[in-house]
């Protein structure tokens, strides 16, 4: 199902479907079906009853609007859901209906349903992030020699390569992706503890049922129930916050490089993408804007989740009830940011000639550091600084290149050969370890990917 209008800039179609009413309800029902089957394996529930419960646990036909109202009144999804499922089973087999939700508590159903949704979300986010890494690696390799202005504090600085910039994006995305995968692995655990987290109602068979339930659902079985210990989910939410910030940094760079007066890159366009309702000439950074919006929203949601972690004793009041909308929003924002920057990386237009022109438009001023290193050895640091300041003033006042102004100062020409001065503004000769760092970033991401395989 598509996203609601108010969420159109907050989720993708895939994630809107994942967190739709139908999908959430089915996740809750999957827990109930798996519980019945697990208990049948352990000899707690008759096998025939378990199959009847599983057959009825299909979202089609449930009154979702009524369930929503009952959930609001009951303060939990588990109670009205179990009642509705029991009623459906009872219509077929009254004896089987008595075993619905046997030994579980409402939070067991709610938490495990959320984890099941997260398991599916992991695949969606993982696919997009892997493709994004591949696209950034390709972009970096294609532009390993594309020279551009470095920019510090929004001002021109000594040159870098666009290949290094793309590799920097890749490195951060890869690290975030790796940490996110690790957090998902820790968070994808079943919740089954019963009333007080001891499974007392099942006696000695409680742990066996928990293990069987985890297998039924394809989740890990934790050491113990975690009703008021939300650290695994908190870690996942926090890693989403870090990753979304990383994607936002990439989006900020792209949007700044798309400014008309810079015009060094552009997002892919197409029908309905990047236009303006009043200014036909515009090519707006829409994917970057959507990503930046996510990066603006998520930190507050992360903070809200962390605030909800302080839960009371064995079952909390108000803490875990706050989590569903927070987690759903964070996952959707992160996924949308990843999908948006994937679109950018796979179709980014890079204008190498404009990058070179913007660099040359500084008339060599950004090579003042290089001049300082050359002249510092010959004249001493203080004397070199004064000479460079004077040359920069003359360059600006007379509209000529920095090296030309230096060549008119006798102190300089007495120490530095003319050919050396002429090469002062050759960007390829002042890239330092740019290529070394670029390759190191790509190698790190590639090595980690090989380890995973």
Do the beta carbons of residue 119 and residue 187 sit within 8 Å?
Answer: no
Category of 197 on φ-ψ map: left (φ > 0), alpha (ψ -120 to 50) or beta: left
Strands, DSSP E only, in 76-229? Answer: 147-152, 155-161
**Residue 287: Cβ within 10 Å count:** 26
* 297 noted as active-site residue: no
As a whole number of angstroms, the distance between CA 225 and CA 201 comes to 14
- β-pairing, 265-266 vs 349-350, is antiparallel
Cα–chain-centroid distance for residue 310?
A: 25
CB hemisphere CA count around 81 (13 angstroms): 31
- Active-site option among 276, 307, 422, 443: 276
- Active-site option among 315, 354, 356, 446: 315
* 276 noted as active-site residue: yes
The Cα-based distances of 180 to 135, 183, 305, 414 in angstroms read 19, 5, 17, 59
Do the beta carbons of residue 311 and residue 320 sit within 8 Å?
Answer: yes
As a whole number of angstroms, the distance between CA 378 and CA 196 comes to 78
Which residues are known catalytic residues? 276, 315
């Amino acid at each position: 199902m598509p996203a609601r209008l108010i969420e159109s800039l907050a989720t993708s179609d895939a994630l809107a479907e994942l967190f739709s009413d139908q999908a959430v309800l089915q996740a809750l029902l999957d827990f109930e079906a798996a519980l019945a089957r697990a208990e049948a394996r352990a000899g707690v529930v008759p096998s025939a009853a378990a199959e009847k419960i599983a057959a009825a646990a299909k979202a089609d036909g449930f009154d979702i609007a009524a369930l929503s109202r009952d959930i609001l009144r009951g303060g939990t999804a588990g109670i009205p859901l179990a009642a509705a499922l029991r009623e459906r089973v009872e219509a077929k087999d009254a004896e089987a209906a008595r075993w619905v939700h046997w030994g579980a508590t409402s939070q067991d159903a709610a938490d495990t349903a959320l984890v099941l949704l997260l398991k599916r979300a992991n695949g969606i986010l993982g696919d997009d992030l892997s493709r994004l890494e591949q696209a950034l690696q390709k972009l970096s390799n294609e532009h390993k020699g594309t020279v551009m202005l470095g920019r510090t504090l929004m001002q021109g600085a000594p040159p870098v390569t666009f290949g290094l910039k793309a590799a920097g994006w890749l490195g951060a995305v890869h690290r975030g992706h790796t940490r996110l995968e690790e957090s998902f692995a820790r968070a994808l655990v079943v919740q089954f503890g019963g009333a007080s987290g001891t499974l007392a109602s099942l006696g000695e068979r409680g742990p066996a049922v928990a293990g069987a339930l985890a297998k039924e659902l394809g989740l890990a079985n934790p050491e113990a129930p975690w009703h008021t210990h939300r650290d695994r989910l908190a870690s996942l939410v926090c890693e989403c916050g870090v990753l979304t910030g990383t994607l936002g940094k990439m989006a900020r760079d792209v949007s700044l490089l798309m400014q008309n007066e810079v015009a060094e890159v552009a997002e892919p366009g197409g029908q309905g993408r990047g236009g303006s309702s009043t200014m036909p000439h515009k090519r707006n950074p829409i994917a970057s804007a959507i990503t930046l919006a996510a990066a603006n929203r998520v930190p507050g949601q992360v903070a809200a989740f962390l605030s909800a972690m302080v839960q009371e004793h064995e079952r909390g009041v108000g803490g875990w009830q706050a989590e569903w909308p927070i987690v759903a929003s964070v996952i959707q924002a992160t996924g949308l940011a990843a999908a948006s920057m994937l679109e950018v990386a796979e179709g980014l237009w890079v204008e190498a000639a404009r990058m070179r022109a913007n660099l040359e438009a500084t008339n060599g001023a950004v090579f003042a550091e290089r001049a300082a290193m050359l002249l510092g050895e010959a004249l001493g640091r203080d004397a070199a600084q004064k000479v460079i300041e004077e040359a920069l003033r003359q360059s600006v006042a007379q509209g000529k290149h920095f090296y030309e102004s230096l060549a008119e100062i006798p102190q300089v020409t007495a120490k530095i050969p003319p050919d050396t001065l002429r090469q002062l503004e050759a960007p390829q000769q002042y890239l330092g370890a740019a290529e070394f760092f670029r390759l190191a970033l790509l190698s790190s991401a590639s090595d980690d990917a090989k380890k995973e395989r």
